Chain A
């Protein structure tokens, strides 16, 4: 039994940072992300036998994604009473800002953060696939496993997500859709 704990810590917990980042991008909230990850890790531990030799990172992220979906459904049920903290419109941006006061950030830093801000504003499906590919650096097969769709769907979804991000970026930087630097 302690051996199970040891193996779990060696195989799964190295991906805790990735799980937390993914949960933050999914939920757009730091406190929700912590609850989701705690829940996911416990479930991963209980189902650890199902991991066998397969990919621990993709496996853990799959569980995180399902825990987020479950939490989402539950909060939709509770949505009759608005929870101000959870619905703070700036919450999605909070994780991006690294300085407490964005006004003092240099213009350069501001430009860098543009991408994260644009990413935060994308549709859930697009944000998710871009985070898995560009931030967590999963390959198509892993993304297909995590999001539970065929690889072909991963490819087209990724293309649409990138097109959406590119369009917003062009709009923001140049005001014109075509200009590339």
Chain B
């Protein structure tokens, strides 16, 4: 009863696909009764939930409690800052400790989990660009999204990029080393048409994005939504290998590409 496209249909329903994919999915649903029924059910469930779940507000009493707690917190932060004042360097808050130390000492053992959550949020905080990369990688893993030009031949993939993207990255098949070139794709990244070279390493897909990164400082490596990202630059051309495979496997591919 469930069509292989059902996850994509769901993503379409949730507004998570671009205009081109949306049009594809709409065309598909016209022909596929299962997907039409799925869309109908998704709509019914959403409407039902939104009708029946009352849009509740936080009670006034809770707001008052929170205001009081924050008043106290501000007061104690001021006291702490005053106690730390003798230091000539006039950093106003805290005492030079990392904030999470303050958290741990301030609220006792039960707070450890929440404090950790704050710390874990840190690397994910500042960059919409990294989110864009992670989202592009995830989108590529949806059926039929991975590859625009299917080929293990670099002489097919490379010229295809010339017509479809703004950059011309290194394209080499490393099948002998375990990185099989499966094709290429154009993606929109950092306000330009980026080239994506797609490799398979065992069961893992590795997307190697490349784009003009002249004006962007790249991190060395990072993790986003559980995917690993490894960055490097060749001249102004920025590269980022994204995958759920291990760091060693990513680094090895980066090394091979850089050696070209």
- Chain A contact residues, CB within 8 Å of chain B: 1-2, 4-5, 8, 13, 16-17, 19-21, 24, 34, 37-43, 45-47, 49-54, 59, 62-63, 66-67, 69-70, 73-74, 95-96, 98, 112-117, 119, 130, 133-135, 139-141, 144-145, 148-153, 155-156, 158-159, 162, 165-166, 169, 180-181
Contacts and interface: CB of A to CB of B under 8 A. Distances in A.
Interface of B: 6-7, 10-11, 14-16, 37, 40-42, 44-46, 48-59, 61-63, 65-66, 69-70, 73-74, 77-78, 81, 92-93, 99-100, 102-103, 106-107, 110-111, 113-122, 124-126, 131, 134-135, 138, 141, 225-227, 244
Which secondary structure characterizes the binding site on chain A?
helix
A50 B62 contact: no
Given A1-B77, A96-B52, A180-B40, A62 B121 contact: yes
Nearest to B6: A159
B56 A46 contact: no
Contact of A141 (B48, B119, B135): B135
Nearest to A181: B44
B53 A135 contact: yes
B114 A43 contact: yes
Nearest to B134: A151
22 contacts: A1-B81, A4-B93, A34-B65, A39-B114, A45-B70, A46-B99, A47-B115, A52-B126, A62-B117, A66-B117, A70-B114, A115-B48, A115-B49, A115-B52, A119-B49, A119-B53, A134-B45, A134-B46, A134-B49, A141-B131, A144-B225, A145-B121
Contacts of B114: 39-40, 43, 63, 66-67, 70
Contact of B50 (A1, A134, A153): A134
A4 B226 CA distance: 32
Contacts of B126: 52-54
A140 B226 CA distance: 14
A165 B54 contact: no
Given A114-B52, A116-B49, A20 B62 contact: yes
Contact of B124 (A2, A8, A13, A145): A145
